[in-house]
Amino acid sequence: MRAVVCRSYGPPESLELDDVPEPVPAPGQLLVRVHAAAVNFPDVLFIAGKYQVKIPPPFIPGNEIAGEVLAVGAGAPFSPGQRVSGTTFGAFAEQALLDATQATVVPDDADFAEAAAFGVTYRTAYHALRSTAAVTAGDWVVVLGAAGGVGLAAVDLGVAMGMRVLAAASSPEKLELCRQRGAAAVVDYDREDLKSRIRELTGDAARVVLDPVGGAYAEPALRALARGGTFVTLGYAAGSIPAIPLNLVLLKDICVRGMEIRTFMTDYPDEAARDIAELTRMFATGTVRPYIGARFPLSQTAAALRHVADRKVLGKVVIDVA
């Protein structure tokens, strides 16, 4: 089968498309013919050897798939031919193994690209809103990087949950997309004063900031929070980790929390199970479906990763495999 292989750490352009042996499902696993694989910013970090957890090369990157079950390992409660999606490793390939515990049946009215794109970013955003920040309907929520994968997922979910979402992004095109997805207000943080505009647009009532971007945007957004607000750090797509003056936390009684999808499941298993069940229902009923801003064939996986690395993405990027 064809697969994209990282043979040594480096940029997306160093990846190779090669023929590799077909995987064989172990007990509890599914062998899936991959129809679509979603691209996430951590994929760029994995192949560069810059993620918190390093995988020694060679490896097949990517961790979100949707496709058709080809074979079933012993004890896995699925059947060949079923449409499934889930999180695994080795997604950028024609076939991939998926633990049955990580597999979800794809609704008939959802396509494979939507199913693949709904996993990591929407779980990250939902855990951050529902469990980490405990936001309630009517609250003002500020989303940085609001047109990216996690950011637009947070906009979609915040709107669906009855929150007032202020979307902050870096271009008119990105802000218009956020408006179309239901954001109550928008800020161009490369052309406007982020702190003053958040305070003005929310009436000094910003309850939560979700920040998957970091860099120079974090501190002004934190300064704009209402007293007693919550700042949730989710990642550093801007390329630098911000240093926050702790006196701001003290003087405004602000709570700063982190949420990492990789460890949330094990650290908070009850909350994670509840959140995933609620989120699965939202997808199955069509309450929320992801916006896919770009699609690439498997042969152009490097270009897809470059698109994400250069922050050109609107919503999600998907690899069409089959």
Cβ burial 40-66 (10 Å sphere, 16+ → b, else e) = bbbbbbbbbeeeeeeeeeeebbbbbbb
Question: How confident is the model at residue 288, as a pLDDT?
Answer: 94
- Asked if the peptide bond before residue 58 counts as cis, ω within 30 degrees of 0, the response is yes
**Neighbouring residues of 51: CB distance < 8 A, sequence distance ≥ 6:** 42, 45
Q: Which amino acid is at 103?
A: A
Residue 96 Cα to chain centre, angstroms: 20
Q: 297 is written with which tokens?
A: 């064939």
- Domain stop point among 258, 283, 301: 258
Q: Do 155 and 219 lie in a common domain? A: yes
164 within domain boundaries = yes
Tens of pLDDT, residues 99-118: 999 899 999 889 999 999 99
279 within domain boundaries = yes
Q: Locate the DSSP E strands across the chain.
A: 2-5, 16-19, 29-39, 64-72, 83-87, 95-99, 103-105, 140-144, 164-169, 185-188, 206-211, 230-233, 255-258, 292-297, 316-320
Q: 138 is written with which tokens?
A: 């009517």
178 within domain boundaries = yes
Q: Do 186 and 301 lie in a common domain? A: no
127 exposure class (CB count in 10 Å sphere: 0-12, 13-18, 19+) = buried
- Tally of CB atoms within 10 A around 77: 10
- Give the CATH number of the domain where residue 143 resides: 3.40.50.720
- Residue 273's domain spans which residues? 2-120+269-320
217 within domain boundaries = yes
Question: How confident is the model at residue 313, as a pLDDT?
Answer: 83
Q: Which amino acid is at 186?
A: V
Query: Is the pLDDT reported for residue 185 higher than 90?
Result: yes
Q: Do 57 and 90 lie in a common domain? A: yes
205, 210, 216, 221 alpha-carbon torsion, rounded to 10°: 10
Q: Do 81 and 177 lie in a common domain? A: no
206 within domain boundaries = yes
Q: Which amino acid is at 290?
A: P
Q: Do 13 and 106 lie in a common domain? A: yes
232 within domain boundaries = yes
125 within domain boundaries = no
Q: Do 195 and 311 lie in a common domain? A: no
Looking at every residue in the chain, the average pLDDT score rounds to 95
In the DSSP assignment, the letter for residue 91 is -
- Give the CATH number of the domain where residue 312 resides: 3.90.180.10
Q: 190 is written with which tokens?
A: 């490369």
The span from the CA of 133 to the CA of 256, in Å, is 10
Q: Do 273 and 254 lie in a common domain? A: no
Question: How confident is the model at residue 322, as a pLDDT?
Answer: 80
Most distant pair of Cα atoms in the chain: their distance: 59
Q: Can you give the pTM of this predicted structure?
A: 0.90
Question: How confident is the model at residue 99, as a pLDDT?
Answer: 95
284 within domain boundaries = yes
The span from the CA of 301 to the CA of 262, in Å, is 23
- Tally of CB atoms within 10 A around 23: 19
Provide the domain count of the chain: 2
Going by C-alpha positions, the residue among 156, 155, 230, 143 that lies closest to residue 187 is 143
Residue 12 Cα to chain centre, angstroms: 19
Q: Do 111 and 198 lie in a common domain? A: no
Question: How confident is the model at residue 310, as a pLDDT?
Answer: 87
What is the mean predicted confidence (pLDDT) over 37-51? 93
The span from the CA of 299 to the CA of 131, in Å, is 39
Q: Do 236 and 166 lie in a common domain? A: yes
Residue with tokens 């949420």: 259
Tens of pLDDT, residues 249-294: 999 999 999 999 889 989 999 999 999 999 999 999 999 999 999 9
Q: Do 171 and 235 lie in a common domain? A: yes
The span from the CA of 127 to the CA of 121, in Å, is 10
Q: Do 34 and 100 lie in a common domain? A: yes
**Separation of first and last alpha carbons in the chain:** 12
